[in-house]
Amino acid sequence: MGKTLTEKILSLKSHGEAKAGDVVIADVDLAFVQDTTGPLAIRQFKEIGFKGLAKPQQTIIFLDHAAPSPAQQLSNDHIFLRRFAGETSCLIYDVGEGICHQLVAENFANPGDVIVGADSHTVTGGALGAFATGMGSSDVAVALALGKTWFRVPESFLIEINGTFPRGVYAKDLVLYLIGQIGADGANYKALEFGGEALARMTMSQRLTIANMAVEAGAKVGLFPSDRITRGFLREHGRGDKYKPLSADTGANYEQVIPVSLDQLGPMVSLPHAVDNVRPVAQVKGVKIHQAFVGTCTNGRLEDLAVAAEIVRGRKRHPGTRLLIAPASRQVLIQAIEKGYVRALVEAGAVILPPGCAACLGLHQGVLGDGEVCLSTANRNFKGRMGNPEAIIYLASPATAAASAIKGEITDPREMM
Amino acid sequence: MPDSVLKGKTIKLGDNISTDDIIPGRFAHLRSNLPELARHVLEDAVPGFASKALSAGGEGKAVLVAGKNLGLGSSREHAPAVIKMSGVGAILAKSAARIFFRNAINQGLPVLLCDTDKISDGDELEISVTDGKIADLTSGITLSCSRMPPIMSAILEEGGLIPYIQKHKDFVLGS
């Protein structure tokens, strides 16, 4: 019997034969925390009585959720995290460097790695073929000290993607469609593994968007096999030597196989207040929006800003709609400046936020008012997510967000292309 | 070690209670002050939850009874931590999101999976955590819960991951 990609990586990292359903102890190649989960993790690390890190150079603290800090308590959390980094010689990415998951993709994640992060969207690293998963502070605290953790080896769903994205349709539309099909708990405790002939044409940016949202179907990981595109991305980011080919065996056992044809896909929108409440954009066209937000670990990359910039170029945002843009990293921001995307966006009336999580989780930089509606490119639209339980959030692609910001209402981006 | 038999009164929630319902991002500045954060636990989903949990507990503990996919969303372990801090002794749900489930056990807060449709708000329960048996003293019915992997039972028996690691210094499989 062949192995799934999940079973292959966990066999390698647990130095044994890992089969779906087994519980294994696996080596951790990279462990990280961010500024809203890190303080608890470090207090727990100290409470256990740990002194040092197993792998200081493979341990990272990211200050991205409150960046820059809007409150004295969060500023004090930042001081605490910086001090811990000083004491232990771990790596730290301070305010303005970008979102943890983007920085992990740019600088650290490699095929076959096991990555644990105290943030649910750690699954983003699956785009590079890493078994990357989100955990709580206690689990990460222990991983920091022991360099390992335990996993129940998940059963896998194979998502078989064929065809080509039609004009105006993007990776975000695909992943929203998938979550609508699977349901918010349809893949709870499972692994999503992606395959199909369309992967050969799928950029790393698109893969990161898709892997990022695996957790919104409940999944433990969203894994892509490594290929020519993975190798190209690693080379571009100065670690071509880390490439290794990795894919599921033929004859691997999947709990479900879900085929998707990109040719049939249109722009999709998640309706309030659930990510799996997915409809074609036509069904919500015309809903007035007060804010459009392009950014986050789902859609704050260069390709996303390029699409948004192309749509708004030479146009103005609707006077009743704010347009917020948050690049996912400093590198993304620099490239967006060099390519003229920032200028096009700002001329259209956009506000450029610092690289980081920005408005996504409601603690600063775009908190919604009572009854306000936001169309966001983020991954969650739960009640209260953007700082106000009386506000309403729709999720869509950067193209749909940009087109909607111009018209002041939810708009099919194909009307503006 | 948590009590192996727990008595308490239920507070019922619906399906898909997210970590943003439990402790939304707007309280992120309170995450290093858990007692203060606990005052806001679940306040958007169940107005006055914190005081309700205290009174439901009475002499014993409150039991949180949820539908499916409890705790979906963020990895914030503060969510089960403040649920526990507010006086909840156990959680029953039809299903729980993966990270929340593991976090609750790591906090020493039992999460037992069973058909919660059969339990009503305000019922008095007697829960045997180790056997996964629930007696609803109000309705007279009994329920069985699905088993968790042995490593999770072992972590729960020690009162959470921190005491577990303090004792064993490592993960022990087959314990």
Q: Enumerate the domain spans of chain B.
A: 5-145
B16:A74 CB<8 A: no
Rounded Cα–Cα distance for residues A279 and A412 (Å): 12
Classify B124 as helix, strand or coil: strand
Structure tokens at A392: 């309403």
Angular region, A358: left φ>0, alpha ψ -120 to 50, beta rest: left
**CATH class for domain B5-145?**
alpha beta
Say whether B103 and A146 touch across the interface (CB within 8 A). no
Instruction: For residue B76, report the phi and psi dihedrals to the nearest 5 degrees.
Output: -55, 110
Q: How far is A180 from chain B (nearest CA, A)?
A: 15
E strand spans, A135-280: 148-152, 156-162, 191-195, 221-223, 256-261, 268-270, 278-280
Q: State how far residue A361 is from chain B, nearest Cα, in angstroms.
A: 6
Contact A367 B26 (CB under 8 A): yes
A49 touches chain B (CB under 8 A): yes
pLDDT at B3: 58
B26 vs A contacts (CB less than 8 Å): 362-363, 367, 384, 387-388
Which domains are delineated in chain A?
5-262 (3.30.499.10), 271-416 (3.30.499.10)
User: Measured between CB atoms, does A222 come within 8 Å of chain B?
Assistant: no
User: What pLDDT, on a 0 to 100 scale, did the predictor assign at position A412?
Assistant: 98
Which residues of chain A lie closer than 8 angstroms to B98, CB-CB?
Answer: 188-189, 218, 220
Chain A, residues 174-203, CB within 8 A of chain B, namely 184-185, 188-189
Do the interacting molecules here have an ipTM over 0.90?
Answer: yes
How far apart are alpha carbons A211 and A102 in whole angstroms? 12
A150–B30 CB contact, under 8 Å: no
Position A110, amino acid: N
pLDDT of residue A368: 98
Q: Which member of B16, B77, B166 has the closest CB to residue A49? A: B166
Question: Which of A47, A77, A120 is the closest to B32 by Cβ?
Answer: A77
Question: How many angstroms separate the CA atoms of B85 and B96, rounded?
Answer: 19
A37 part of contact set with chain B, CB < 8 Å: yes
Give every residue of chain B whose pLDDT is below 50, as ranges.
175
| Shortest alpha-carbon distance between residue B99 and chain A (Å) | 6
pLDDT at B58 (0 to 100): 61
* Number of CB pairs, chain A paired with chain B, less than 8 A apart: 146
Which residues on chain B are in Cβ contact (under 8 Å) with A76?
A: 32
Query: What is the model's pLDDT at position B52?
Result: 87
Neighbours of A41 (CB within 10 A): 28
| pLDDT score at B174 | 72
Pair B29, A74: CB distance under 8 Å? yes
Give the residue among A378, A397, A395 at the shortest CA–CA distance from A172: A397
Strand pairing class (B5-12; B61-65): parallel
Residues of A in contact with B76 (CB under 8 A): 36-37, 136
Three-state secondary structure call for residue A222: strand
How high is the pLDDT of residue B175? Answer: 47
Q: How far apart, in whole angstroms, are the C-alpha atoms of residue A171 and residue A397?
A: 8
Please indicate whether, in this complex, the C-beta atoms of A136 and B103 are within 8 angstroms of each other: yes
- Do residues A199 and A226 make contact, with C-beta atoms less than 8 angstroms apart? no
- Positions in chain A short of pLDDT 50: none
Query: How many C-beta atoms surround the C-beta of residue B168 within 10 A?
Result: 13
CA A174 to chain centroid, in Å, comes to: 14
Strands across the sheet containing A59-62? A91-93, A59-62, A30-34, A114-117, A131-134
Judging contacts by C-beta atoms under 8 Å, the chain B residues touching residue A64 are none
| For B105, nearest residue in chain A (alpha carbons) | A138
Q: Do B75 and A382 touch (CB under 8 A)?
A: no
